[in-house]
Amino acid sequence: MKTRMRTHTCGNLRLQNDKEKVSVCGWVQSRRDHGGIIFIDLRDRHGLTQVVFDPSNNDQAHKEAEHIGREWVLKVDGTVRPRGEGLVNPRLPTGEVEVVVDKLEVLNKSDTPPMEIDDNKVANEDFRLKYRYLDLRRPIMQKHLETRHKVAQAARSFFNEQGFLEIETPLLIRSTPEGARDYMVPSRVNPGQMYSLPQSPQLYKQILMVSGCDRYYQIARCLRDEDLRTDRQPEFTQIDVEMSFVEEEDIYEILDGMVVNVFKEAIGVNITIPIPRMTFHESMERYGCDKPDLRFGLELVDVSEIVKKGDFGVFKTVIENGGIVKCINPNKNFSRKELDEYIVLATKSGAKGMAWMKVADGKLESNIAKFFKEDLQKEIIKKTGAKDDTILFFVADRPKVCNNVLARLRNKLGEDLKLYDPSEFRFVWIVDFPLFEYDDDIEAWMPAHHMFTMPKKECLKFLDKEPGKVVAHCYDLVLNGVELGSGSIRVHRKDIQEKVMKSMGITEAEALQKFGFLLEAFRYGAPPHGGFAFGVDRLVALMCGFNDIREVMAFPKNKNAQCPMDGCPSQIDDKALKDVHLKWDIVKPEKKGNLDNRME
């Protein structure tokens, strides 16, 4: 870290540096005047060093230090010495020493900062994003960026050792639907035409396989114009991987190895491999979702076959109409107030309601228990393994709704009851996804992941008439209930790709118009290939103990996809619009940053 301005950082001076002449640079964290001696904590991204201005050592430097404020940028030359007896700070790596200043240079002054540079005093979200350059000075934010850097470097090192090539794919591409809206870029030199920004490098990495580049990776920037959540941003980063002449087992072996390397190098955590696997069907049955948090149990139990023999009309009607009844049994009793709060959560999650019954002396108690004879009550208790003085929560609805509601309820109970260790990392591969999901809104089959996924060989016969039966060579990697990424063995044959598109209602003409370049490439000997993409933002957030990916991104957008710091998105002047052959067709709104204007 030695440069012409500094000999050491603010984080690496120790007792062994006693009596050394040093130069350190940084920002003023705090200033204290104790009986004429001034102490300043000088901060850089590596840590804090206490510097001492003693008039008996250098009166001029002491006088200059009297006017120093927070966040001023200083360079100090001085001598390292041990701190006095009883003055050691065990919370700091540099806490046993201090630097007695011989010379002070003010590199820059600072206005009074609008926010504290303190991990214990965190400003609100918009304020942090507006003054992001100040927020990033906080030690915890510096640590997050360093962890992100280590993840990227560990991934690169691993793939390089495995014979992969790092290849960049284009940012200006043809618009290809991938489940979200594209960000569009008008072409100045091609009037009336637009590029889109990539939601992923999917098609280009497949074409690289056709090109003979049999092992590719890239730390890729991707963009999607979609509604934002804590785990989504309009632009994000993924570790993108593709391999030729492979089967699923080869993909798992490579990616398990990458996970081990990244966790060991970035945060010093050992991950046990092989990472366990669970089929999509099993995950939905046991946990109600395809991204289960395996740090705790609390599995869902299907009691449809038992409760349909009872007299509770709600359950019977749901089952008769093709629905199911599932329950969950947290090992705890709840107050009526707590039960009502969980009922509200269930209804907000899509349920029409949530029933409950308490286990007491081997029987069930509640206002619906009377609809189940004693033998049925015992069956329910046996099936669920429920103990006395605990509650059973029931949801009855269509399978998709029932599973979704109970999955959310399970996660909330896991959090509320502290059923897991927040520092634990539990991975699982979810495999054997269906190729298609039926979209009731548009009454069509849509890909569960994407249309470039290879169906299992035994399922090819279902493509034409029974697409709902098609199982794909598709897999997701889940960590602590969060999907880190997904991948698949890809379609490499033109005839199969056309059948998949046909199953989705895509005509031959539409297929050629949207994906003609890929289908054309498949005519010239595409090898079997497969790959995966990891979300770097989500991975680093979980490593650092967060769900909000903005905590590990240098310059994220807010919930309105805006950047309060630089004011983007911003309005464009008429000349710039004319250059790209566009014009507004309505009056621009006065509200700054709103681009909901229609254009032609």
**What are the sequence ranges of the domains in the chain?**
15-108, 124-275+529-583, 296-419
- CATH number (3.30.930.10, 3.40.50.720, 3.30.750.24, 3.30.428.10) of 124-275+529-583 reads 3.30.930.10
> Is there a cis peptide before residue 191, judged by omega within 30 degrees of 0?
no
Question: For residues 363 and 393, what is the distance between their CA atoms, to the nearest angstrom?
Answer: 15
Is residue 581 classed as helix, strand or coil in its secondary structure?
Answer: coil
The residue behind tokens 């927020």 is 135
State the alpha helices, DSSP H only, in 33-130.
59-65, 125-130
- Which stretch of DSSP H or E encloses residue 374? helix 374-384
The stretches in the chain having pLDDT less than 70 are 177-179, 230, 586-600
The residue behind tokens 């008429």 is 574
In order, the DSSP letters of 255-273 are: HHHHHHHHHHHHH-----S
- Which stretch of DSSP H or E encloses residue 85? none
Would you mind telling me the total number of residues written for the chain in this entry?
A: 600
Quick check: 491 and 541 in contact, CB under 8 A?
Answer: no
The residue behind tokens 């090992």 is 331
- Fold for 15-108, please state it: OB fold (Dihydrolipoamide Acetyltransferase, E2P) (2.40.50)
Token couple for 332? 């705890």
Token couple for 265? 């190098």
Q: Tell me the sheet residues that pair with 534.
A: 239, 485
Question: For residues 434 and 470, what is the distance between their CA atoms, to the nearest angstrom?
Answer: 6
In order, the DSSP letters of 172-202 are: SB-----SSBPEEEE-SSSTT-EEEE-S-SH
Q: 116 CB contacts (<8 Å, ≥6 apart)?
A: 123
Does domain 296-419 bear CATH number 3.30.1360.30? yes
Question: For residues 446 and 456, what is the distance between their CA atoms, to the nearest angstrom?
Answer: 17
Question: In this predicted structure, what is the pLDDT of residue 596?
Answer: 47
Backbone angles phi, psi at 106, to 5 degrees: -85, 110
Question: For residues 50 and 97, what is the distance between their CA atoms, to the nearest angstrom?
Answer: 8
Q: Is 124 exposed, middle or buried (CB count within 10 Å of its CB: 0-12, 13-18, 19+)?
A: exposed
**pTM of the predicted model as reported, rounded to 2 decimal places:** 0.90
Quick check: 444 and 504 in contact, CB under 8 A?
Answer: yes
Token couple for 123? 């400003």
Question: In this predicted structure, what is the pLDDT of residue 574?
Answer: 86
The residue behind tokens 């360093």 is 146
Question: For residues 106 and 25, what is the distance between their CA atoms, to the nearest angstrom?
Answer: 10
Question: For residues 81 and 58, what is the distance between their CA atoms, to the nearest angstrom?
Answer: 16
Question: In this predicted structure, what is the pLDDT of residue 598?
Answer: 44
